[in-house]
Amino acid sequence: MTDEEEALLVEQVASAYRPPTRAHEELRYHPAWHDLSEAARERAYARGRALRTLEAAVDPDGLSAAARAILARIPG
Amino acid sequence: MDLDAHLAAIVLGDKLSFARWLAGAERPVRESLRSFAKVIDVEAVLQEALLRVWQVAPRFEPDGRPNGLLRLGVRIARNLAISEVRRIRATPTEHDDLEAALAAQETLGNPPDPILRQAIEACRDKLPAKPRQALDARLASGGGHDDSELATSLGMKLNTFLQNFTRARQLLAECLKRSGVVLDEELGA
């Protein structure tokens, strides 16, 4: 994998999107996470933290995309 | 701020109060998982853990100290992370502790800052069209759509979408820096 290809994977993993869980499944990782090196996983964590800060800053309720995704999983 | 100010309403099932709690709690819980980032998908663990906080909140009994529900959230997240580490037989390289996470809460999770929001929006308005489309699509999706779906909705290939998003993120960080705002160094990386 080239550095540029890995950088694009990091960009995807840093998003707040995670696939919906299936029956009898607690967690679904981002599919691209499995293709990252350890260093790239740490970069994705840091990038995600930065993006959540940006998302919360522009959201009228101060909610990041992760918070919005969690709320969307609560019925009602 | 003591996020337990929202606790009574959360226990009664008030989703709006849980949203307010989340706005302050997400960052410290995320920080508490930093040492696991090499070995588990922290974003997935974080979202599941915070959802579980909502599910167990009606049975939560405060111990009288501030931020009890946040401390519970950190414990749930950490236990879930450790379960994941055991499942995949990996070992985190270092340990953050609960106090560090709570210290993060002292300085973060503040209410929305209208001046900061204006600065970001001014910089967003200066972005070239395609990067701005990519950034706006991500922001509007609220974590509900993967990048392939967002790319398709904009008529872009996935790699083009990601390149545009990267450019938007970097240009936004540069613009904010010129205005004296550094949200997070990683934003411009």
Indicate yes or no: CB of B43 within 8 angstroms of CB of A48.
yes
Q: What's the pTM value of the predicted model, to 2 decimals?
A: 0.92
Does B93 touch chain A if contact means CB atoms closer than 8 Å? no
Question: Looking at beta carbons, which residues of chain A come within 8 Å of B184?
Answer: 49-50, 53-54
On whether any CB of chain A is under 8 Å from the CB of B44, the answer is yes
In chain B, beta strands by DSSP E: none
Which of A8, A57, A70 is closest, CB to CB, to B50?
A70
Question: Closest Cα to residue B119, out of B166, B179, B188?
Answer: B179
Is B139 an 8 Å CB contact of chain A? yes
Comparing CB atoms, the residue among A27, A47, A66 nearest residue B26 is A66
CB–CB contacts below 8 A, A to B: 165
CB B44 within 8 A of CB A18: yes
Indicate the pLDDT class of residue A70, thresholds 50, 70 and 90: very high
What average pLDDT does chain B have?
91
- Residue B108 pLDDT grade (very low, low, confident, very high; cuts 50, 70, 90): very low
The percent of residues above 90 in pLDDT, for chain A, comes to 87
How far A67 CA sits from the closest chain B CA (Å)?
A: 6
Which CA distances in Å does B187 have to B33, B87, B135, B164, B171? Answer: 19, 32, 13, 14, 10
Which residue of chain B has the CA closest to A34? B41
Residue B35: CB atoms within 10 Å: 17
> CB of A37 within 8 Å of any CB in chain B?
no
Give the closest residue to A27 by CA, choosing from B138, B151, B88: B88
- Please report the ipTM that was assigned to this predicted complex: 0.97
